[in-house]
Amino acid sequence: MHTIALIGCGRIAFKHIEAVIQNVDRIRLVTCCDPRTERTDARASEYRKAIAGAEVAMYADYIEALAKEKPDICALATESGYHAKIAIDCLEAGAHVICEKPMALSTKDAADMNAAAKKAGKRLAICFQNRFNTPVQRLRKAYEAGRFGRMLHGMVQVRWNRGESYYTEAPWRGTWALDGGTLMNQCTHGIDLLQWMMGEDAVRVQATTHRYLRPIEAEDFGAAIVEFASGAVGMIEGSADIYPTNLNETLSLFGEEGSAVIGGLAVNKIETWRFADAEVQGDTEAVVLDPNEKDPPSVYGFGHTALYADFLDAIEQGREPLVSGERGKKALDIILAIYKSQKTGKAVDLPTDFSTMEMTGEFENQ
């Protein structure tokens, strides 16, 4: 039985509580940590309601929690700008780490996190839970089986709405120091899926970003072209300005022998499924498409539970989790290259070094 500490008890924390509960035979929550005690109380109460007799310690200081509770695993759901320091502290204290996206806000911090995990001999996973969506898993199997043939191009579209109240209720959102903009926050899942399905070897990025409507430091819209080592091209469209509410998050892939589109509110519905071998495989569109399939209740979907299960398997089997720190860094590298392209007005070759803090003041005249 593994023990876990939840560090950061805000907006996304309930999905971590849910994932622990759904993996109850393998892991138990021992502590919730957050400077705001009403948050630790709320998360601990959620867990106690589901797990009879559970005892959950509550701390304002995660360092104290590490020393006193000595959890096997730490789940980080704090403001993004704090991820790197907290993750490294947890790893050095002897805990494995599940870190919410984005793993960090600079290429250096992300590299330091991975180095700390390697030095400590601990596992580090990044919460790209959409990789575990059932349609995405099916898509990945088709990709790994070579059913697309030569991959030509792909696209991710994140057309969501984050209104002024979203930012004002938590002033760290949309800041360069603690968050970044819509690409770093809302679009990072889709960008991760795009690069995962196209070889994970982005080599060049050209982009433009804007702050159109939202009262933030960072961008609320971004568009980019990503070139991969294979010659395939990826396109990114991300917006927090869609009127009046969230519209869709869609991943489209086009190869020499296959076309697939996974859409819905958050890449959870197969909308196109056309492969040269579909008749042989028995998965034509008539078979695969489900007109009654519904969106999950929120954009977070159901993937955290499966991500936790994979992480526990990785610890027990001595392997890397599906979304390891090294793999999770790849999406971050693309986003930071997008920011650098915006700042310089030029295409950016990967790998590159960059930080969100280098974007400070970028949109002052917009």
- Give residues with Cβ within 8 angstroms of 292, minimum separation 6: none
- Sole residue written with tokens 């200081």: 61
Q: How many structural domains comprise the chain?
A: 2
Decide if 364 is inside a domain. Answer: no
Query: Which of these, 62, 129, 137, lies nearest to 98 by C-alpha position?
Result: 129
The domain that holds 19 is classified in CATH as 3.40.50.720
Domain of residue 267: give its range.
130-299+329-359
Average pLDDT over residues 140-150: 98
Share of the chain above pLDDT 70, in %: 100
Decide if 208 is inside a domain. Answer: yes
pTM for the structure as a whole: 0.96
Q: In which region does residue 149 sit, left (phi positive, over 0), alpha (psi from -120 to 50) or beta (all else)?
A: left
91 and 233 in a single domain? The answer is: no
Decide if 265 is inside a domain. Answer: yes
Helices (H), the chain: 13-22, 37-50, 62-69, 83-92, 107-120, 134-144, 164-168, 188-197, 278-281, 285-288, 303-317, 325-344
Residue 366 predicted with pLDDT over 80: no
Gap between the Cα atoms of 308 and 268, Å rounded: 19
Gap between the Cα atoms of 312 and 150, Å rounded: 35
The amino acid at 192: D
- Residue range 51-74, pLDDT digits in tens: 999 999 999 999 999 999 999 999
- Residue range 90-132, pLDDT digits in tens: 999 999 999 999 999 999 999 999 999 999 999 999 999 999 9
Decide if 245 is inside a domain. Answer: yes
219 and 339 in a single domain? The answer is: yes
β-strands 348-349, 202-210: how paired?
A: antiparallel
200 and 224 in a single domain? The answer is: yes
205 and 137 in a single domain? The answer is: yes
Angstrom CA distances, 89 to 74, 94, 128, 221, stand at 10, 9, 22, 34
Gap between the Cα atoms of 8 and 86, Å rounded: 10
67 and 95 in a single domain? The answer is: yes
166 and 26 in a single domain? The answer is: no
The domain that holds 181 is classified in CATH as 3.30.360.10
